[in-house]
Structure 1
Amino acid sequence: MTGTHAEAAYIRSLAAFRTPTLNLLHGRHAPFVIAALSMLFTADRPAVPVADAHAEVAEALDELRASGYDDEDRRIPSGTGREVCRNWAKQGWLVQQIDDDVEVYRLSAHAVEALEITGRTGGGRTRVSTSRMRTLLDAVERLSDSAEADPIKRITRLTAERDALDAEILRVQAGQDAPIDDEELYEEAENVLHLARELPADFTRVAESLKQMQRDVVAHLRRDDRPTGEVLREYLQRARDVMQSTPEGRAFAGALRLIGDPDRIDALTEQLHTLLAQPFSRYLDVTQRSEFDAIGRRVELGVEEVLAAQRRASHVITGQVKTHDPLRDRQIDELLRDVISGLHDWARTAPATAPIDPVRSLPLIDLGRLRQTVGDVRPPGAPAPLSDADDVEYLETDSRSWGGPRYAELESYVAGLGEQFDLGEAFADAPDDTRRPVDLVGLLEIAHRNGMTEGSGISDVETLRPDGTTRRFAFVSVTARTTKEHDDA
């Protein structure tokens, strides 16, 4: 049994040290990693642009190497700032993502937890204080009360709490309430800082659980062969209930009911500022005061991080569902597997110095001549030359009679009407073959081109279609000139 217990404990320890958190703390470069990450990321700077992070890490490396720290058991990593940050992302300590079209780094939950551990360890001694024990006892009491199913016992406990509160109110009103010692208040503040240091890791862990759920859903969707309608209903529902899809998300949803109100956050920030003005705050060092003042901001940024992860997961899942095509996804997966398999086969036989020609364009399949649509404005060949109008013989005179205005006949007719003419009277006296509705429009166009004057009366004309039907039109009387008037200038 002893060997079994020892083996189980050892296996658990091995698993713990394989996590990115302990891997970071146990690594050779751990002091530099912790120092650099703590400088890069603060409560007011949860995300850092990739280019800025590379530059700042490179600057820190140069400063420490110039000071001789690179010679101390190689505790300073080699390489450029970009290489170091890329390695941290590979180790799972940094997360790359796009925020407002900018590529940024964020701390992973493991890195946040490692920073919290080192901050707590280096922040002074951990004391078994009245505040810490009261926090534990209150938590146990709330858990016991929530689990209690007997209403009589709950009423008894609530009555006792009410009596205790009434007695305390009477003592305060009588001036018998003894002031709390500054040392005890300082212990309370230490406990608050201890609890607050765990919040960033908790928030980041929730956000990462949502991202992992998003990846799992998308991967499962790509393997889903069910009808599209059934897939849409299920996955759109999961996109709406994304916060309830993980244990961390469900726990955060409950906590959000306490801290999601902006007024609650503002009240928390105001209380923290008031506490820093109290006499006991003189016991807090500069770092503790800064952490104490940033608690409200940490909570606000943590809530924003989780809600942003929720929105992003919902957007990605919804987008994947809308474009879900099982056949196409399988074809893409098979193509990628073939490419990777071919690359592995080539890597086993090719020499290390073998050049690789990049694929600059995808091959085109020869399909012959495709059908041309009306959208292709390029003609297949040069058109035949047009014949002169005099050589054209109209075999169907009826078709031409239904065409547009006969400008040549109308202009010849207008030329014989004198210097000016009334357009309505001129149209009424015109030959029958030029009294079509379109010829009225043509006559108006000629009058407008040569110059015309509108009168106060109304002209009423009857048009004659080629099939013998008539139609009447009324318009403002127009006096037109026969020829266009030119300026002497």
Structure 2
Amino acid sequence: MASIGGARAVRELLRVRADDIGWALFRADNSALIAGLLGTHLGDERRRLPDVELYELLDADLDALRDTGLDLPKTAQGYCADWRASGYLVRRPLPGARGESLELSPGALSAIVTLRQLVAPRLSVTESRLQNVSAQLSRLAIDTDPDFGRRLSQLELERSRIEAEIERVRAGDIDVLDDQRALERVRDILAQAQEMPSDFARVRAEFDDLNRRLREWILDSEASHRPVLEDVFRGVDLIAESDEGRTFAAFSALVLDPHLGDDFDDSLSQLLSRAFSAQLSAGDRQFLRRFIPMLKDHAVEIHTVMTNFARGLRRYVQTQEFQRDRALRQLLRDALAEALDVKDKVKPYTETGLHLQLSAVGINSVGNLRLHDPSEFDASEEVLSNAPTVVDLAALRLLARETEIDFAELVDAVDRAVLERGPCTVADVLELHPATQGVASVIGLLALAASHGVVEHDAIEAIAWRGTDGVRRSANVLVHRFQAPISARAA
């Protein structure tokens, strides 16, 4: 009879092999290069680097590897582009600065941890690990027991054991672990502690996935997903209220507890003062010293991510952006449905006659660029502040004459010239009454003659005037003749 469980296990592993980034890293041709370089620069305490800084570090490593005879044709930037496309690296914007950062994806980080254990295997069947499992199992049995009497009995047994231990210590009977067993326990603690920072990458990925699912539910118009939209409208923080959010909140509260940090530092100081700690590497000792601060940094980062996701989700709903995206999605679905209907009749390369202007940055030569010169926008002159003064009518009239033609003066000049000489041309008016506004007076007379006089298109006359700068000027114009006073015609 065939084993159904074995077949199911094979199918699950095949699914994981197709989707898991860590498995893909194991199968990559340059898996040693990926794990060695990225694990060194992104797999320890520092999990994220600006892309430019990472390129510089990797280029130096690549040069050293080429000196040993390895064929590495690409630059660090080229390799990082490939690793980012394969899912080993994740690109994120740098907070508070221009540029981007690179970090290991959760799958790649898990794979690198596994490969490190192959390089430096640690004994898994140890006394300390068994004691940890036994202690946690006993603690869980007590914490989950609903029976009052049984729980009280277990706690009293625990108290009796502790009191007996206290009496033994008071009597001077102390069991001190030998250096070998103590070192074994420290390394077991290190193995567990070094796995915790990698968990933050998975937590970050879970929140990314949760944020994406919530947005998809908001876009979904099905009635089963309507409560998600209603909760956001009411201000419910769905990120914090999720299972992932509650689990992380409990962990974060413990990490940020000042008593935990003080107890850890005190215990660590005592531990590193023991003789056996000299057998620990400098990296292990540094990791233990930085363990709690590192967890706090990661916890604050994840909390910031949760807050940003929650604010973005609330803004997405309250600003009605989801309505636009929902309409766009429906239009895309309709277009795809119509495309399926005509796929057998219209070829994909058929000319449609439509031209779509894509939004893209134009590619130009560097020579076309113009450097920004801050001095062009430098207001070097001081801004003068003038106190308000009283202006008389004569000053206002003078200001008006500098910007406008004084037609009242010109009409009076034309009327007096016509009364004195009879019908007269513009040249006659200028001869009797000089142009006080220069060419502006000439233009005004020509405009008045065109409106109130006669323009003789077959005759030309020379006119002369003195400009406001005192220079005498002249011009030939068509004869413009005033037949009667302008004021009399207006009346």
Counterpart residue type for residue 63 of structure 2 = D
Counterpart residue type for residue 294 of structure 1 = R
Report matched runs for 1:321-340 at 5 Å: 321-333=317-329
Q: Is structure 2 residue 62 aligned with structure 1 residue 61? A: yes
The 3 A distance-change label for structure 1 pair 347 and 79 is farther
Q: Over residues 178-208 of structure 1, what are the superposed CA-to-partner deviations in whole Å (9 max), with x where a residue is unaligned? A: 2221222111101111111220222221121
**1: CA distance, partners of 2:359 / 2:251:** 52
Q: Which residue among 91, 97, 104 is the counterpart of 1:96?
A: 91
Greater RCO (CA < 8 Å, at least 6 residues apart): 1
Q: Which residue among 182, 188, 191 is the counterpart of 1:191?
A: 188
The 3 A distance-change label for structure 1 pair 286 and 156 is same
The 3 A distance-change label for structure 1 pair 81 and 358 is farther
Q: Indicate conservation of the 8 Å contact 1:265/1:296, yes or no.
A: yes
**1: CA distance, partners of 2:65 / 2:324:** 53
Q: Which runs of 5+ in 2 are unaligned?
A: 351-355, 362-403, 413-491
**2: CA distance, partners of 1:33 / 1:238:** 44
Q: Over residues 400-429 of structure 1, what are the superposed CA-to-partner deviations in whole Å (9 max), with x where a residue is unaligned? A: xxxxxxxxxxxxxxxxxxxxxxxxxxxxxx
Deviation of 1:155 after TM superposition, in Å, equals: 0.5
What secondary structure, in the 3-state scheme, does the structure 2 residue paired with 1:97 have?
A: strand
Counterpart residue type for residue 107 of structure 2 = H
Higher mean C-alpha deviation, range 292-301 or range 147-156: 292-301
Report matched runs for 1:184-333 at 5 Å: 184-224=181-221, 233-235=230-232, 240-245=237-242, 247-333=243-329
Q: Is structure 2 residue 6 aligned with structure 1 residue 10? A: no
Deviation of 1:274 after TM superposition, in Å, equals: 3.3
Report matched runs for 1:154-173 at 5 Å: 154-173=151-170
Q: Which residue among 125, 130, 133 is the counterpart of 1:128?
A: 125
The 3 A distance-change label for structure 1 pair 26 and 232 is closer
The 3 A distance-change label for structure 1 pair 303 and 36 is same
Deviation of 1:112 after TM superposition, in Å, equals: 2.2
Q: How many residues align?
A: 356
Report matched runs for 1:80-91 at 5 Å: 80-91=75-86
The 3 A distance-change label for structure 1 pair 206 and 51 is same
What secondary structure, in the 3-state scheme, does the structure 2 residue paired with 1:349 have?
A: coil
Q: Which runs of 5+ in 1 are unaligned?
A: 71-75, 351-355, 362-383, 393-489
Counterpart residue type for residue 87 of structure 1 = D
Q: Indicate conservation of the 8 Å contact 2:182/2:276, yes or no.
A: yes
Deviation of 1:358 after TM superposition, in Å, equals: 6.1
**2: CA distance, partners of 1:269 / 1:132:** 22
TM-score, normalisation: structure 1: 0.64
Deviation of 1:251 after TM superposition, in Å, equals: 2.3
Q: Indicate conservation of the 8 Å contact 1:41/1:48, yes or no.
A: yes
Counterpart residue type for residue 24 of structure 2 = N
**2: CA distance, partners of 1:234 / 1:389:** 77
Deviation of 1:111 after TM superposition, in Å, equals: 2.2
Determine the structure 1 residue equivalent to 2:175: 178
RMSD in angstroms over aligned alpha carbons? 3.7
Deviation of 1:60 after TM superposition, in Å, equals: 2.2
**2: CA distance, partners of 1:307 / 1:313:** 10
The 3 A distance-change label for structure 1 pair 327 and 298 is closer
Higher mean C-alpha deviation, range 143-152 or range 78-87: 78-87
**2: CA distance, partners of 1:236 / 1:284:** 55
What secondary structure, in the 3-state scheme, does the structure 2 residue paired with 1:95 have?
A: strand
Q: Indicate conservation of the 8 Å contact 1:210/1:243, yes or no.
A: no
Deviation of 1:221 after TM superposition, in Å, equals: 2.4
The 3 A distance-change label for structure 1 pair 186 and 329 is same
Determine the structure 2 residue equivalent to 1:20: 21
Q: Indicate conservation of the 8 Å contact 2:232/2:238, yes or no.
A: no
Determine the structure 2 residue equivalent to 1:144: 141
Q: Is structure 2 residue 80 aligned with structure 1 residue 79? A: no
What secondary structure, in the 3-state scheme, does the structure 2 residue paired with 1:388 have?
A: helix
**2: CA distance, partners of 1:160 / 1:256:** 32
Determine the structure 2 residue equivalent to 1:450: none
**1: CA distance, partners of 2:405 / 2:315:** 55
Counterpart residue type for residue 137 of structure 1 = S
What secondary structure, in the 3-state scheme, does the structure 2 residue paired with 1:198 have?
A: helix
Q: Over residues 8-54 of structure 1, what are the superposed CA-to-partner deviations in whole Å (9 max), with x where a residue is unaligned? A: 22112212323112221232211111111122225542221122223
Higher mean C-alpha deviation, range 41-50 or range 154-163: 41-50
**1: CA distance, partners of 2:406 / 2:139:** 97
**1: CA distance, partners of 2:188 / 2:84:** 33
Deviation of 1:213 after TM superposition, in Å, equals: 1.0
Deviation of 1:391 after TM superposition, in Å, equals: 8.1
Counterpart residue type for residue 215 of structure 2 = V
Q: Indicate conservation of the 8 Å contact 1:112/1:200, yes or no.
A: no
The 3 A distance-change label for structure 1 pair 151 and 207 is same
Higher mean C-alpha deviation, range 108-117 or range 163-172: 108-117
Q: Indicate conservation of the 8 Å contact 1:207/1:305, yes or no.
A: no
Determine the structure 2 residue equivalent to 1:409: none
The 3 A distance-change label for structure 1 pair 146 and 58 is same
**2: CA distance, partners of 1:237 / 1:277:** 55
What secondary structure, in the 3-state scheme, does the structure 1 residue paired with 2:320 have?
A: coil
The 3 A distance-change label for structure 1 pair 262 and 311 is farther
Q: Is structure 2 residue 30 aligned with structure 1 residue 33? A: no
Determine the structure 1 residue equivalent to 2:349: 349
**2: CA distance, partners of 1:202 / 1:279:** 32
**1: CA distance, partners of 2:85 / 2:200:** 21
**2: CA distance, partners of 1:96 / 1:240:** 27
**2: CA distance, partners of 1:33 / 1:320:** 38
Identical residues among aligned pairs (%) = 23
Counterpart residue type for residue 11 of structure 2 = I
What secondary structure, in the 3-state scheme, does the structure 1 residue paired with 2:100 have?
A: strand
What secondary structure, in the 3-state scheme, does the structure 1 residue paired with 2:6 have?
A: helix
